[in-house]
Structure 1
Amino acid sequence: MNNLVLSLAPKFTKLQTLILRQDKPQLEDNAVETIANYCHDLQDLDLSKSFKLSDRSLFALAHGCPNLIKLNISGCTAFSDMGLAYLAQFCRKLKYLNLCGCVKAASDKALKTIGYNCRQLQSLNLGWCENVGDVGVMSLAYGCPDLRALDLCGCVLITDDSVIALANNCLHLRSLGLYYCQNITDRAMYSLAHSRVKNKHEMWESMKNRYMEEGLVNLNISQCTALTPPAVQAVCDSFPSLHTCSGRHSLIISGCLNLTSVHCACADLAHRAASALPHPAH
């Protein structure tokens, strides 16, 4: 694959989308440098599982591909936070960024730079980036108010402060992954629930209808064992698109046995419908 990219990249200078996802890592820095040297219009790049790539690739993309909107570098374990921070200073149009498994690259230092420079960011996957803490997530919340999807699954250092910052600043958040974030407590859940009410009153009249269509549609709190049913129920009640009913699981609570009593509006409707049925005569 590496030689193929080296030979073809100079011939496709107007390329906008390039998928180089690999099962067996073959791509090397010189191939990415060639892409950056010739494909200046590139907007969507997938380099996932490219274990051989180093920060050289990120430096090259920063200078050669400033129009990047979507970048997937999940599983690229050799990237550092310095390389990622450098990229964020030049690729300011990024809207979709997948850093899942990039433990060394996704640090609070790098996230602060992303939050400061990538103000248009809408989707960020930080799954299993165990060095991510509240400082980094709060920087994202303050700097990227248009965030729609954020995966923090396995980010074991974050606390309620991260979720509270997201609830207060990212009004368009639709999907939030908190799997195995065991420092999350009821404070975080109530902040999500209350932000829905508070922010609705603060919206301009012209924005009300649009706002009512938004809100969380996916929330993963599996293995967040400190949460109690009343707090999670409050979130479920505040966001009607969160479902616990069969076939529509968008509120994921597996591994939290104390949350089995939490239910969505569909369960109430089903119960009322069953109760309204006439009972057979005896």
Structure 2
Amino acid sequence: MVSGRPVNEDLDAWFRSLMLSTGNGRGQPESGGAMPTLSGWKDLPIELLLRIMSVVGDDRMLIVASGVCTGWRDALGWGLTNLSLSWCQQNMNNLMISLAHKFSKLQVLALRQIIPQLEDSAVEAIANYCHDLRELDLSRSFRLSDRSLYALANGCPWLTRLNISGCSNFSDTALTYLSYHCKNLKCLNLCGCGKAATDRALQAIAHNCSQLQSLNLGWCEDVTDKGVISLASGCPDLRALDMCGCVLITGNLQYLYMI
């Protein structure tokens, strides 16, 4: 059993011994001291476990590892900040519900889907536990309703990047509410969110999200010059604006030169 917090030299030696194997598994660290004894995988220090997981680089393996024992679950929950479940072709909703409380320190979460799986219950679980979330990809989540945006607004106020492209069920009321609570947004993808991306919502975004740098309004057919002009006035850092398919834009947007 390893006791105490291991020094960097010990971590390096353990890591090399486990990953490269010395034959008898009891090599000597470069510092010259004796190699501390590990009685089993469950005794791995947190720092070493996280280093091994970083080399593995497979989110599926991270999920499996979190179920090995309480210690591993707690260690990964403490150290894991980036997770993608976009590889999941089925049961993503239930998987996310079961993982949210384990990985409460997540800052980047990708849940892009080919076949719509996510439901509001999964997003609500994320909002209930992952309060440090900075980047979230929910693209192509056709099943989500306004419940999800309300949950994110109340549970994930530090969001800077949000991709809800293709989430066609969201309303402008919910998007307006989100903009009021998530004022640090810098990148927002609303492509295909025709019900949510209205002039009213854009005015709210312009008023609340002054740090916005990138906005995708592709195929948001209710957007007019009025909404875009409000962005030009309220978002001085806006650098990328996609209006492909915004058929009501007239082209008389001289105020855009203010961006």
Give me the TM-score of the superposition, normalised by structure 2: 0.71
Q: 2: CA distance between counterparts of 1:242 and 1:70?
A: 26
Q: 2: CA distance between counterparts of 1:236 and 1:162?
A: 22
Match of 1:107 in 2: 119
Q: Offset at 1:183?
A: 0.7
Q: Which ranges of structure 2 fall in alignment gaps of 5 or more residues?
A: 1-17, 20-40
Q: 1: CA distance between counterparts of 2:214 and 2:76?
A: 32
Match of 1:57 in 2: none
Do 1:79 and 1:102's aligned partners in 2 also have CA atoms closer than 8 Å?
no
Q: Offset at 1:265?
A: 6.0
Q: Offset at 1:146?
A: 0.4
Do 1:149 and 1:175's aligned partners in 2 also have CA atoms closer than 8 Å?
yes
Distance 1:65 1:264, change over 3 A: farther
Do 2:158 and 2:182's aligned partners in 1 also have CA atoms closer than 8 Å?
yes
Within 5 Å, give how 1:122-141 maps onto structure 2: 122-141=134-153
Do 2:229 and 2:255's aligned partners in 1 also have CA atoms closer than 8 Å?
no
Which of 191, 215, 219 in structure 2 is aligned with 1:219?
215
**1:124-183 per-position Cα deviation (integer Å, ceiling 9, x unaligned):** 001111112110111011111100000000001111122112211011111111001111
Aligned pairs, how many? 213
Q: Which 4+ residue blocks in structure 1 deviate beyond 3 angstroms?
A: 10-14, 18-21, 29-32, 34-38, 61-64, 102-105, 262-269
Matched, 1:84 2:115: no
Matched, 1:183 2:195: yes
Q: Offset at 1:222?
A: 0.7
One-letter code of the match for 2:95? G
Distance 1:215 1:268, change over 3 A: closer
Matched, 1:257 2:247: yes
One-letter code of the match for 1:119? H
SS of corresponding position for 1:226: coil
How much is the aligned-residue C-alpha RMSD, in angstroms? 3.1
Match of 1:33 in 2: 64
Do 1:36 and 1:63's aligned partners in 2 also have CA atoms closer than 8 Å?
no
Match of 1:44 in 2: none
Match of 1:267 in 2: 257
Do 2:236 and 2:258's aligned partners in 1 also have CA atoms closer than 8 Å?
no
Q: Offset at 1:105?
A: 4.5
- Percent pairwise identity: 25
Match of 1:15 in 2: 52
Instruction: State which structure, 1 or 2, has the greater radius of gyration over its C-alpha atoms.
Output: 2
Do 1:83 and 1:105's aligned partners in 2 also have CA atoms closer than 8 Å?
no
SS of corresponding position for 1:173: coil
Distance 1:90 1:179, change over 3 A: same
SS of corresponding position for 2:88: coil
Q: Which ranges of structure 1 fall in alignment gaps of 5 or more residues?
A: 1-6, 22-26, 41-60, 197-213, 244-249, 270-282
Q: 2: CA distance between counterparts of 1:154 and 1:147?
A: 19
Which of 81, 91, 106 in structure 2 is aligned with 1:94?
106
Do 1:190 and 1:231's aligned partners in 2 also have CA atoms closer than 8 Å?
yes
SS of corresponding position for 2:248: helix
Q: 2: CA distance between counterparts of 1:146 and 1:31?
A: 25
Distance 1:171 1:33, change over 3 A: same
Match of 2:27 in 1: none
**1:191-250 per-position Cα deviation (integer Å, ceiling 9, x unaligned):** 112335xxxxxxxxxxxxxxxxx610011011000111111210122112224xxxxxx0
Match of 1:167 in 2: 179
